[in-house]
Structure 1
C-alpha cells in the first residue's frame, strides 16, 4: 500500500523542538534538580528455503489484516517504541529524550486513531516542572488546526510504520539463509519513501554505496517479520551505524482506544506553545 512516510522523523523533530523549549523555560525559571525517575523479537523458525525469497519476505511485512503489535526502531542514539493497531487505524509512538543543562528527561507519547490525536508528556529530573509549564500528566486531546504545521504531527501511517516493505522492494535479489533469515542489498538512493524511512542518514554522502546497503531480515515462526537491520557504512563525518526495526507481540499488544474519563483533557494553550515553539 502507499502510505505517508517518516513518522519517526516527524516525531524526532517535534520531540527535539519540545525539549529545546522546555530547556529554555527551565533555565529562565531557575529550577533546581528534583527527584527523577523486554522486547520479544520472536524465536528463530525452522522454515526451509523459499522458492522466491523476496516475495516471501515481503509477504511477512505487517499489513492491515494483522492483529495489534508492538514495534521499535533504533537509529544511532534515537529509539522509538510504539504500538500499531491496524483494525482501529491507530498507532502509538513514544520517545524519551534527556537534556543535560538543565538536567531533566522528557518522555513524549502520541496516540493517533484515524484523524484524532492525543499527546502525553512525562517530565522527570526537575521538581515541579509539570506545574511550572502548565502541562498535565494526563493525555491531552490535540486540535490539529491549532498546530502551526499540522503536517509535522504524527498520523496513522499504516501497518508498516518503518517502511520496511519499501526498503526490501529496492533489493534486486534477496537470499534465503534458512532458519527465517534473509539477506540482501537495499538501494537508498533516488527513492523518497526509502529516504524518509532512513531519515537522519546522509544518503547523498554515501555516494554509490547508497545503492548497495546490506540488510538482514528475520521472519518468525508465525510468518511475521520480526526484524530488519540496515548496515549503513561510514561516509565523510558520518560513522557507520545500524538501523534496526523490530516488530513483535503480534496479537498480544493492547488494542488502541481513545483515552476517556479522567485519563484525558483538552490540550491547554501551553501544549500548543510547546509544539509550535
Structure 2
C-alpha cells in the first residue's frame, strides 16, 4: 500500500499489522490458572504472597475493566465473568505510512466478533473496505481459530501465574507489595513470547515487581520491570484491574450494530 499510488502491497502490509494486533492480545492468553492457592486454614494469618494471590480476580468480583502493556503493545478492555465475556481493544501504528489500525474483539463464551478501524489515513489509498460494525467470525473460516482471543478466566493479565512464581514477596505498606518473580518457573514462562523469554536469559529468574491491592481486597495493578537485554531497552510488563463490580456488562451486539464477517475480514486475519 502506498500514498496516492493505488493499492500495491495492501494485503501483505495489513496482514502483518493484523498479526501484530493479534500478538498484542497474547497478554490475555490464559495460562490455565486464575489464582494461586488460598492461605492454609491452619495459618493464623496469610503470608504476603498468599494475601497477594488471594487478591487476583477469580470471577466472583463482577465485571471490571483492565489495561495492560508489554514490550510492544498496549491493550484495554472489559471482563464479564458471568457472561464468560471479554472485550479487547488494541492499536498498531504503521511506522512507514503513519496510519493506525485499531482492532477490537468481543468474546461471549464460544462466540466472537471483530471490529477494525483505520485512522490518520489522509492521502492513503488501498485500505480494505470493512463495515463499521461488529463482524461475527466463523471459526471454521480461520486458519488458526486459537489465534484469536478466547475467554479463559477472569485473570486476563495472568497476574496469578506471575505471582505464583514469585520467589519472595514483601508487604511494604497497606496494600503495596514488592518482590521478585522467576519467569522460568511454572506457568509464568507462558506469559511472555518465546523471543522475549530468550532475550532475558538468566535475568528472567529474578524480575523485580510491584503490586497494589485496593481497599476492597482486589488486585489493582501488577508491574514487572524487565531489564535491558541485548540491543533492546528496559521495558515494563503491566496489568491494571479497575472498576470491580461497576463496569458495564458485556452484551451480544445485535441489529444494525453487527453482521457476519465479510471475506475481507478473514483475509486480514489469515494473511
* TM-score for both structures, normalised by structure 2: 0.80
* Structure 1 residues without counterparts, runs of 5 or longer: 1-14, 22-49
* Structure 2 residues without counterparts, runs of 5 or longer: 1-12, 20-44
Partner of residue 156, structure 1 = 151
Partner of residue 242, structure 2 = 248
Structural mapping, 1:208-227, within 5 Å: 208-227=202-221
User: 1:175·1:182 contact (CA, 8 Å) conserved in 2?
Assistant: yes
Deviates more, 1:119-128 or 1:90-99: 119-128
* TM-score for both structures, normalised by structure 1: 0.78
Structural mapping, 1:1-277, within 5 Å: 17=15, 19=17, 51-126=46-121, 133-191=128-186, 193-199=187-193, 202-277=196-271
Measured after TM superposition, the shift of residue 128 of structure 1 is 9.9
Deviates more, 1:94-103 or 1:199-208: 199-208
User: 1:123·1:129 contact (CA, 8 Å) conserved in 2?
Assistant: no
User: 2:14·2:268 contact (CA, 8 Å) conserved in 1?
Assistant: no
Residue correspondences, number = 234
Partner of residue 35, structure 1 = none
Q: Output the CA distance in 1 between the equivalents of 2:262 and 2:122.
A: 21
1:56–1:257 Cα change, 3 Å: same
1:112–1:130 Cα change, 3 Å: farther
1:230–1:177 Cα change, 3 Å: same
Task: Tell me how large the CA RMSD over aligned residues is.
Answer: 2.3
